[in-house]
Amino acid sequence: MTHDAPSASPGRPLGRLSGLLLSAALAAPALAGTPSEPLPAFPGDRSLSETLKRLAPDADARVLERAAQAWNCARPDAERLAVIDFARSANQPRLWVFDLAERRLLFEELVSHGRGTGDEEARWFSNVPESHQSSLGLFRTLNSYYGSNGYSLRLEGLEPGVNDLAYERAIVIHGADYVSEEFIAANGRLGRSFGCPAVRQEVTYPLIDSIKEGQYLFAHYPDDDWLEHSDYLACTPSLRLAQRIDVGGMSLATAYTAREDVPGTAPAGGDWLSYHVSSSQE
């Protein structure tokens, strides 16, 4: 984990989305004309999950099925998807990066979990700052940058209350010398981070470059509460619509969870939808 990413305040929950969707749908043509929505690379969850299973036969099939569900619920025009199975021992490869456009497996790698999440086995997850625990759920990748841990990739948590403080917590992908077979041999287990999914230093650059800027990361663990309440696994019609409404270059779900203290995003206490509608028309 690195601490030099700029902080941001927590995202707002999606609870009011259902009441805003109709007006947003009516306003969307005025916001962005008639945006051309690329056809998804896969027509549905089953087609994608079967492809993922074929490309990564050693991965847990149920984890890949859920990753496909979450990806299809988001904006499924991304070309890359990374999947972490935190139920697997940290001493085994448990990070897969898929090229969805080319139907290829790009990486199968070791990846760390947070110190507060467990030793060799991950057990506890959190969205709380300074918990040093990993977070579950669907993330969108942002930009790469150079920080205290070298080349790193910022992540935007998309699930309110589950991982939406990832940016504030500086949960990023970066390389680490404690992620290696040599470290496992010397210490009996992989090293741990402050909550970041750290990878081997040798693959840091190509792995980050393969998934940066608008791709997706899905972190899985069989946590009953998360599995039952994850917006992206349930993929309600309101959330699916919100993800597809273009509000000034961002989905309605992203616009609605914008940070109050970031200049230009929204006035504190204001009407979020109206603000983004009017701002996009200026």
**Per-residue pLDDT tens over the stretch 127-145:** 999 999 999 999 999 999 9
Picking from 180, 221, 215, 173, the residue whose alpha carbon sits closest to that of residue 200 is 180
Measured in degrees and rounded to the nearest 5, phi and psi for residue 266 equal -175, 150
Q: Is the pLDDT of residue 281 over 70?
A: no
Q: Is the pLDDT of residue 56 over 60?
A: yes
User: Quick one: pLDDT at residue 77?
Assistant: 78
Q: How many CB atoms lie within 10 A of CB 228?
A: 9
User: Quick one: pLDDT at residue 239?
Assistant: 76
Q: Is the pLDDT of residue 274 over 70?
A: no
User: Quick one: pLDDT at residue 261?
Assistant: 40
Q: Residues 4-51: pLDDT tens digits?
A: 333 333 333 333 343 444 344 334 333 333 333 433 456 666 799 999
Give me the mean pLDDT over the 41-64 stretch: 88
Picking from 63, 84, 88, the residue whose alpha carbon sits closest to that of residue 136 is 84
Q: Could you tell me how many helices (H) and strands (E) the chain has, helices first?
A: 10, 10
Is 105 within 8 Å of 56 (Cβ atoms)?
yes
User: Quick one: pLDDT at residue 258?
Assistant: 43
Domain ranges of the chain: 17-281
Q: What is the biggest distance separating any 2 CA atoms in the chain, rounded to whole angstroms?
A: 61
Picking from 68, 39, 40, the residue whose alpha carbon sits closest to that of residue 52 is 68
User: Quick one: pLDDT at residue 270?
Assistant: 36
Find where tokens 């920080």 sit: 147
CATH superfamily of 17-281: L,D-transpeptidase catalytic domain-like (2.40.440.10)
Token pair in block for residue 162: 């589950």
Token pair in block for residue 144: 């790469």
Q: Is the pLDDT of residue 212 over 60?
A: yes
Q: Residues 249-267: pLDDT tens digits?
A: 555 555 544 444 444 444 3
Per the prediction, the chain carries an average pLDDT of 79
Give the DSSP letter of residue 189.
S
Q: Residues 96-125: pLDDT tens digits?
A: 999 999 999 999 999 999 999 999 999 999
Q: Is the pLDDT of residue 279 over 50?
A: no
3-class DSSP assignment, residue 92: coil
| Cα dihedral 171→175→180→182 (10° resolution) | -120
Give me the mean pLDDT over the 191-207 stretch: 98
| Cα dihedral 170→243→237→218 (10° resolution) | -40
Give me the mean pLDDT over the 179-193 stretch: 98
